[in-house]
Chains A and B, each alone.
Chain A
């Protein structure tokens, strides 16, 4: 069973990303939405942290949030739209939103 984790808080003001990474299962996926996509700013500590774990992680980001913020998805992140978001929530056994 795998879980899709959803994050929407900025990793620079909030500890949700750190906590999520601590308890992420080996087959889990992580979708960055809203301000959580700031974690994909190159040269930042969250970016390095995610990049370091990229091989073992399924990483996704909501395309509209990347585009709005002028960020690009690195090769190890898949940018998705809403229909793909729905499909992702079905592919995994459950969704854990870090409210």
Chain B
């Protein structure tokens, strides 16, 4: 029984390589068929904002990597409703369809479900 790992992604998409490198951990785990979960929390929810144009900053478009999550077998993807609301984002208008929105009260139960966690 492989150990499960939850990645909590808290960085905005282009505040440095943080968001990209968090996603790389997730995709690498998926590629090895490991049970991986991904939670977008705090500024991490900006990765889900609609109508982003990474090319304007000569940056890579992370949403392509996000769309690849299910291809890599990562289907446990969550976002914090509070973080979304705090930032004025519309939970019905996020760039990722396959996403479970969680209330604050559900977050510690989510963390408890996983054997290990990395928050970056």
Direct contact between A and B judged by beta carbons closer than 8 A: yes
Report which A residues bind B (CB closer than 8 A).
1, 3, 15, 19, 22-26, 28, 93-99
Choice from A23, A26, A95, A97 contacting B104 with Cβ under 8 Å? A23
CB neighbours of A23 from chain B (8 A): 104, 107-108, 111
Does B120 interact with chain A (Cβ within 8 Å)?
Answer: yes
Chain B nearest CB: distance from A99 CB in Å? 4
Choice from B82, B112, B118, B119 contacting A1 with Cβ under 8 Å? B112
Chain A nearest CB: distance from B5 CB in Å? 10
Choice from B42, B108, B116 contacting A19 with Cβ under 8 Å? B42
Choice from A3, A15, A19, A97 contacting B111 with Cβ under 8 Å? A3
Which 3 A-B pairs rank lowest in CB-CB distance, beginning with the nearest? A25-B108, A23-B107, A99-B120
Interface of B, secondary structure class, is mixed
Q: A94-B117, A99-B118 are in contact. List 17 more A-B contacts (CB 8 A).
A: A1-B112, A3-B111, A3-B112, A3-B117, A19-B41, A22-B104, A22-B107, A23-B104, A23-B107, A24-B108, A25-B108, A25-B111, A25-B112, A26-B108, A94-B114, A96-B8, A96-B117
Q: Are A28 and B108 in contact (CB under 8 A)?
A: yes
CB neighbours of A3 from chain B (8 A): 108, 111-112, 117
Does B115 interact with chain A (Cβ within 8 Å)?
Answer: yes
What separation, in Å, do the CA atoms of A32 and B103 have in the docked complex? Answer: 26
Chain B nearest CB: distance from A89 CB in Å? 12
CB neighbours of B82 from chain A (8 A): 22
